[in-house]
Structure 1
């Protein structure tokens, strides 16, 4: 008796063949192989602030600095942070990187801030006016030397 093959069965078989063909064989290191490790690479992996510094970003704000940043954002609009403090901190550090990359282009900084700072109720950003306020709070509290 002959069993008809369905397109789905053929697709599954083809996918399985493709997956088995993708496996890779790794070889054990040879005694002559040298592993190069730098102290700075190990430090940046273990210390997020060191990694940020190596990337030219400010350290994560802590204590009063962190609170001032979050309070400043919430004073603009509570929906900016929307209960996600750590996410706001991450976005603030990211915004500092953008400020550093475009130090003399305020228009671009505001546009990028608007794109970066979204929320569930503002998926396209909070508008350029609030973006400028977010940028100012971030600049003065998280990375004032930029």
Structure 2
């Protein structure tokens, strides 16, 4: 047998073995109606929870990034940002909230360097329109008031 034919035959055998190993529960459940289904194992009975979410949430909390605010808090925060400048939100509320939460992390990371926090905030919230230093100071107050964890 040549090499191509051997490879094709081997692939067919492997595919057939894979199909045989992956039998369906449909056939076994219709064979015996008097037999109760097997009891679920502990792993199958456990509720499916995304394991990475908890470590990611705690990592964010350790970095000073708060969870997403509730709807009322978000609305008040968005109104306060829009009062500084409507371009800060620009119809993209989720982005404005994300930037605010990240700013909480910056405040947490640089607690003794206010000038650096102001500079990073200014860059983070600048978009089509550049944010002034005075606006960045006001943004920081709004973020700390509405989004950052107290304490």
How high is the TM-score relative to the length of structure 2? 0.60
Say which of 83, 91, 102 aligns to 1:83.
Answer: 91
- How many residues align structurally? 103
Residue deviations 1:15-56 (CA, integer Å, cap 9, x gap): xxxxxxxxxxxxxxxxxxxxxxxxx981516x9755633544
Q: Which has the higher contact order (CA 8 A, sep 6+)?
A: 2
- Higher Cα radius of gyration: 2
Runs of 5+ unmatched residues, structure 1 = 1-39
Greater per-residue helix proportion:
2
Runs of 5+ unmatched residues, structure 2 = 1-48
Tell me whether 1:137 sits opposite 2:142 in the alignment. yes
Say which of 117, 121, 127 aligns to 1:113.
Answer: 121
1:68 positional shift: 1.1
CA distance in 2, matches of 1:98, 1:92: 10
Spell out the pairing of 1:1-146 with structure 2 (5 A cutoff).
42-44=51-53, 49=57, 52-53=60-61, 55-120=63-128, 122=129, 125-145=130-150
Q: Say which SS state the counterpart of residue 75 (structure 1) adopts.
A: helix
Runs of 4+ with deviation above 4 angstroms: 47-51
Residues 122, 133 of structure 2: 8 Å contact kept? yes
How high is the TM-score relative to the length of structure 1? 0.62
